[in-house]
């Protein structure tokens, strides 16, 4: 697994961005960039090469699900892996995310092990392409 | 008991209105029976309006309207208080994360030295604890999301009362009622520890 991949962490709460970055750092991923909602995330994606997006759902401006749809609608980012880390836990929401093309879904609060496992699964499915 | 009396009065009043309406109708008094039916409708609606009025007043009190606040002060005040809670917990969480990151650096330094197996195990346990402490800080995000949702509900209820023409009446301010931590820019007339000590010493304590 390439630990130098660039990971975009999207959450409107600066504390949660920091917590996710800390956990990623523990797992050996130190190449991270941040955004506070879907709009600023899209701006980052357009100007920066990103290998993985980890996003919250409930954010003012552009939400995480809207960001996911925008990413999948753009031919440039269609294959970009997106993982949701969110407190949204309704069946319909998870189904909607899956149908919109999410690659992983973690419900807050989560454990370090869950994050590690879901990341592992994403990389596994990518077949080492990352 | 009070409720029973109110219901009885309500019932006899309604019966009277119905009788009068029926009599007017039988007499062929068009204006008369319409007036009675209108009175009947008004009597039924009053309970509802009274109830809503009471709710509006309760809400205004719950929002802790400040003495000099403008008409919409209660709502702004309540939402500002909720925002303040989010900011306060955010600052506290960042402070905690600062300390956790600092501790992680210390642990990394210790680890760089020559260690026996037991020491390595202790340091690994510390690293694990620090990671869990950082993760536990996610309460700030989760709590913050709930607080923002509550602020939305408060806004909706307040607007609903406004649409019904029921602006919360100015309730009497009870200066002694406990209101929790003072919020800068919102709460007036609060003092710091030094002021409190001065005041107490002036009172002979």
Residues of chain B neighbouring A11 (CB-CB closer than 8 A): 141
Q: List pLDDT tens digits, range A73-91.
A: 999 999 999 999 999 888 8
Average pLDDT over residues B50-59: 76
Q: List pLDDT tens digits, range B5-43.
A: 556 667 888 888 888 888 998 998 888 888 888 888 887
Q: Is A88 on the interface with B (CB under 8 A)?
A: no
Average pLDDT over residues B185-197: 75
Nearest CB partner across the interface for B138, out of A14, A19, A26:
A19
Q: Is A1 on the interface with B (CB under 8 A)?
A: no
Helices (H) and strands (E) in chain A, counts: 5, 5
User: How far is residue B73's CA from residue B192's CA, in Å, rounded to a whole number?
Assistant: 25
DSSP string computed for B176-204: TS---S--TTT--S---HHHHHHHHHHTT
Q: Tell me the C-alpha to C-alpha distance, in Å, between residue A115 and each of A24, A37, A107, B174.
A: 9, 21, 10, 50
Mean of pLDDT over chain B: 79
Residue with the bigger pLDDT between B203 and B129: it is B129
Per residue of chain A (130 residues), what is the pLDDT tens digit?
788 999 999 999 999 999 999 999 989 999 999 999 999 999 999 998 999 999 999 999 999 999 999 999 999 999 999 999 999 888 889 999 999 999 999 999 899 899 999 999 998 887 754 4
In this predicted structure, what is the pLDDT of residue B75?
64
User: How far is residue A39's CA from residue A61's CA, in Å, rounded to a whole number?
Assistant: 7
Q: List pLDDT tens digits, range B153-170.
A: 877 777 777 777 765 555
Average pLDDT over residues B166-176: 57
B69, B173 Cβ separation under 8 angstroms: no
User: How far is residue A22's CA from residue B38's CA, in Å, rounded to a whole number?
Assistant: 69
User: How far is residue B177's CA from residue B174's CA, in Å, rounded to a whole number?
Assistant: 6
In this predicted structure, what is the pLDDT of residue B126?
95
pLDDT confidence band for B100 (50 / 70 / 90): very high
Write out the residues of chain B at the interface with chain A, using a CB-CB cutoff of 8 A: 90, 93-94, 97, 100-101, 131-132, 134-135, 137-142, 144-145
Chain B nearest-CA residue for A11: B141
A28, A3 Cβ separation under 8 angstroms: yes
Residue with the bigger pLDDT between B77 and A16: it is A16
Q: Tell me the C-alpha to C-alpha distance, in Å, between residue B138 and each of A31, A42, A56, B82, B113.
A: 22, 25, 12, 18, 33
User: How far is residue B87's CA from residue B183's CA, in Å, rounded to a whole number?
Assistant: 11
In this predicted structure, what is the pLDDT of residue B61?
66
Residues of chain B neighbouring A18 (CB-CB closer than 8 A): 94, 97
Q: How far is B143 from chain A (nearest CA, A)?
A: 11
> For strand A82-86 and strand A7-10, is the pairing parallel, antiparallel, or unpaired?
unpaired
* Interchain contact, A15 vs B141, CB within 8 Å: yes
* Interchain contact, A15 vs B140, CB within 8 Å: yes
User: How far is residue B102's CA from residue B104's CA, in Å, rounded to a whole number?
Assistant: 5
Whether a cis peptide bond, with omega within 30° of 0, leads into A109 is yes
> Percent of chain B, pLDDT > 70?
77
Backbone angles phi, psi at A85, to 5 degrees: -125, 105
Residue with the bigger pLDDT between B130 and B156: it is B130
A16, B145 Cβ separation under 8 angstroms: no
- Interface A:B, Cβ pairs < 8 A: 51
Nearest CB partner across the interface for A16, out of B100, B132, B138:
B138
Nearest CB partner across the interface for B97, out of A11, A15, A110:
A15
User: How far is residue B189's CA from residue B96's CA, in Å, rounded to a whole number?
Assistant: 31
pLDDT confidence band for B67 (50 / 70 / 90): very low
Residues 6+ apart with CB under 8 A from A101: A68, A71, A72, A82
Question: ipTM, 2 decimals?
Answer: 0.75
Using the predicted structure, report yes or no on whether residue B46 has a pLDDT greater than 90: no
Domains and CATH numbers, chain A: 7-118 (3.40.50.2300)
In this predicted structure, what is the pLDDT of residue B69?
36
């Amino acid at each position: 697994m390439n630990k130098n991949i660039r990971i975009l962490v999207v959450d409107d709460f600066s504390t949660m961005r920091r917590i996710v970055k800390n956990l990623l750092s523990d797992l050996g991923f130190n190449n991270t960039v941040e955004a506070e909602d879907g709009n600023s995330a899209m701006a980052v994606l357009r100007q920066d090469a990103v290998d993985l997006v980890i996003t919250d759902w409930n954010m003012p401006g552009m939400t995480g699900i809207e960001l996911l749809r925008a990413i999948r609608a753009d031919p440039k980012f269609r294959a970009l892996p997106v993982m949701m880390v969110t407190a949204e836990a309704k069946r319909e929401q998870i189904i909607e995310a899956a149908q919109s093309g999410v690659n992983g879904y973690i419900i807050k609060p989560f454990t370090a092990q869950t994050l590690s496992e879901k990341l592992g699964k994403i990389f596994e499915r990518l077949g080492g392409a990352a | 008991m009070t409720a029973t009396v109110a219901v009885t009065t309500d019932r006899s009043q309604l019966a009277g209105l119905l009788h009068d309406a029926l009599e007017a109708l039988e007499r062929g008094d068009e204006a008369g029976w319409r007036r009675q039916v209108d009175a009947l409708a008004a009597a039924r609606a009053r309970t509802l309006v009274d109830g809503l009025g009471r709710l509006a007043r309760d809400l205004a009190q719950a929002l802790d309207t400040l003495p000099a606040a403008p008409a919409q002060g209660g709502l702004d005040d309540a939402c500002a208080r909720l925002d303040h809670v989010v900011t306060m917990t955010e600052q506290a969480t960042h402070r905690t994360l600062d300390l956790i990151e600092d501790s992680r650096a210390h642990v990394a330094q210790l680890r760089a030295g020559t260690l026996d197996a037991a020491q390595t195990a202790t340091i690994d346990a510390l690293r694990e604890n620090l990671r869990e402490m950082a993760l536990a800080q996610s309460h700030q995000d989760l709590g913050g999301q709930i607080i923002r949702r509550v602020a939305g509900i408060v806004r909706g209820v307040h607007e609903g009362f406004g649409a019904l023409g029921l602006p919360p009446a100015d309730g009497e301010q009870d200066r002694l009622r406990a209101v929790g931590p003072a919020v800068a820019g919102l709460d007036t007339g609060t003092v710091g520890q030094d002021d409190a000590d001065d005041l107490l010493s002036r009172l002979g304590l």
